[in-house]
Amino acid sequence: MGVMEFRYLGNSGLKISEVTYGNWLTHGSQVENEQALACVRASLDNGITTFDTADVYANTKAETVLGEALKGERRESVEIFTKVFGPIGPKQHNDVGLSRKHIMEAAHGSLKRLQTDYIDLYQAHRYDVETPLEETMQAFADLVRQGKVLYVGVSEWTAEQLRDGAALAKELGFQLISNQPQYSMLWRVIEGEVVPTSKELGISQVVWSPIAQGVLTGKYKPGEQPPAGSRATDEKGGANMIARWMRDDVLARVQQLKPLADEAGLSMAALAVAWTLQNDNVATAIIGASRPEQVADNAAAAGVTLDADLLTKIDEILDPVIERDPARTHESSPKTREV
C-alpha cells in the first residue's frame, strides 16, 4: 500500500490528502449510516484526512453522520469540505441556489450538523444563473471574514464561470481555490477548457467519480447482469447515473485494462484513481465506498506514478468510448441536478 501523500489545494497553503473520502449517502438508512462510520474510520486508518460531503446528500443525513464520525478526532488534523446550493427541508422559495439568504442559512445548518465551528472548504455545489454572482461571492467573503469558512471552492463550474468568480473573489479579498468536476479515464470533459483556465487562476480540481460510478473497477462485465447490490441496480438514483457506461462496447474495453492494472501492481479501482492524480491540476480524487476494504483499495492510489507508456496504452484501449464534449455535461438544469 502506498503512503498517503498530500497536495496543496489551488494557490493556497492548505494541504489535503490525495485521496478524499466522499460521504455521499443515498438514503441515510441505519445500515448505510453504520457502513459510513466504518468507512470514515477506515479512511483515517489509511491516511485520508480530507472528507467531502454536502447538505443535500441524503437530505442532511450525510453531514450528520460525518459529524458524528469525526467527533473524536483532533479537528486540526482533518479537512472537512461541504457544499451549498440544493434544497433541503420543505423546498420553499428561498431554499435553493446561491442567494445570500440561502448561503448563510445553509452554512449555519452545516456547521451544526458537522459539529464544528468552521468548514475548511465551502463549495458552491452548482453555478446559480438566477442570483447575481456578486451577491454570492460577497456572502462567501463574509463567511470567510467571520471565520466560519476557511477556503472557498465551487463544483461543476465552466471555465468562464471560474474566471468571473475568481475575479470577484480577488476584489473581495479572498481566493477561489477549487472546482469539483466529474473526471475519470472515461470522462475527460474538463481537459479542454476547465483545466487550462484553472491552472492560470490558481484553482485545483477536486474530482468526483474517478472510477466512473464503479464501472472502472471492471465488476460490470459485457453481456452479463450487474452484480446484486451494485450501483447499477440501485433504483434510488445510482442506476441512471451509471447508465451511460453500461454499454457492452464500454465494458469490453474496460476489461482490457485488467492486465495493465496487474502490471502496475494495482487493483482496477486504484489504477483509475491513480490515473486522475497524474493530472497535476488535480489536488485530490474523491472516493465513495460502502465497505471499509474498498477504502483501503482506493487509498492505495496515493503516491503512485504511472509511467508514460502505461498512460498511452490506457488511451489506446479507451479512445473510442471516452467522453470529451463539454456540451454533454449540463444535460439538465443546475437547479435540479444532484451529484
Catalytic center residues: 57
What is the spatial distance between Cα 27 and Cα 235, in angstroms, rounded to a whole number? 11
Question: Using an 8 Å Cβ cutoff, are 15 and 7 in contact?
Answer: yes
Assign 213 to helix, strand or coil.
Answer: helix
Residue 321 DSSP symbol: G
8 Å CB contact between 213 and 245? yes
Query: How distant is the alpha carbon of residue 226 from its chain centre?
Result: 24
Tell me the CA end-to-end span of the chain in Å, nearest whole number: 30
Rg from Cα positions in the chain = 19
Strand blocks (E) in the chain: 6-8, 15-17, 19-22, 50-52, 79-84, 119-124, 149-155, 176-180, 204-207, 282-287
Distances (CA, A) of 95 to 34, 63, 106: 29, 17, 9
Question: Which ranges constitute the DSSP H helices of 7-131?
Answer: 30-45, 61-70, 100-114
For residue 221, the SS3 value is coil
- Count helices and strands (H / E) in the chain: 12, 10
Burial class, 79, CB count within 10 angstroms (exposed 0-12 / middle 13-18 / buried 19+): buried
